[in-house]
Amino acid sequence: IIIGGQFTIYNGIARNRIARLNAGGAFDSTFNIGSGANNTIYTTNIQPDGKIIIGGSFTSYDGITRNCIARLNTDGTLDGTFNPGTGANNTIYTNSIQSDGKIIIGGDFTTYNGIARNRIARLNADGSLDATFNPSTGANNVIKTLALQNDERIIIGGQFTSYNGITKNYTARLNTNGSLDATFNLGSGANSYINTTAIQSDGKIVIGGSLTTYNGTVRNLIAPLNDD
């Protein structure tokens, strides 16, 4: 089990913001992070090859500059083949890995490696920005969560009220190229922030957060949505 967060100790052992546990919860001492991350890790994801994508508000990992995103080898060391350049200019809260190995990131950033990307971007497998994913003006506030559907369209949730200038209250669906999916009609949407999303096996979508209504219907903190 990979865990990330704000901690600096696990079971009395120094571990800065990330650790690996055995299946029973015991500390795995073979996972060697060195000095680890210098600030909070908010999101982790394991690639099919076992390497680990981490995102957060950190600016270094094991003493090496990595702004808000890094990839670790299976043993916890920094993967130097993943080069984000200057990385994100603010916190990354969420990430998801596509079937082709590309990585979707969401958060509070407005640039990635010096290129404008408002709160969402797609990276190539080597950490460089994927220019074919174009969110245009993107989200007008923080993206806290994202999930990939089987067709790799992207459900996003957060604190935003518009995407690319179009009103979308706290949740939206994007096409695979980063454009807004107009077929996803949420009406007035949620009345407050969305912090988590999940896709069920039947394709329906579950959202959770501080909402108390969805499209005018009472739904306290959690709501299931149809695919549309």
What pLDDT shows up at residue 88?
98
- Report helix, strand or coil for 2: strand
**Vertex 43 angle, CA 39 and 48, to 5°:** 130
Contact 153, 175 (CB under 8 A): yes
Q: Say how far apart CA 58 and CA 127 lie, in whole Å.
A: 16
What pLDDT shows up at residue 187?
95
Q: What is the pLDDT of residues 172-189, one digit of tens each?
A: 999 999 999 999 999 999
Q: Say how far apart CA 30 and CA 121 lie, in whole Å.
A: 33
- pTM for the complete prediction? 0.97
Residue 117 burial by Cβ neighbours in a 10 Å radius (0-12, 13-18, 19+):
buried
The overall average pLDDT reported for the chain is 97
Q: What is the pLDDT of residues 21-78, one digit of tens each?
A: 999 999 999 999 999 999 999 999 999 999 999 999 999 999 999 999 999 999 999 9
Q: How much is the average pLDDT of 208-221?
A: 98
Q: How much is the average pLDDT of 114-133?
A: 98
Q: Say how far apart CA 97 and CA 60 lie, in whole Å.
A: 22
Q: How much is the average pLDDT of 9-31?
A: 96
What pLDDT shows up at residue 102?
98
What's the pLDDT band for 108 if we cut at 50, 70, 90?
very high
What pLDDT shows up at residue 26?
94
Rg (CA), the chain: 18
Q: How much is the average pLDDT of 126-141?
A: 98
Q: How much is the average pLDDT of 2-16?
A: 97
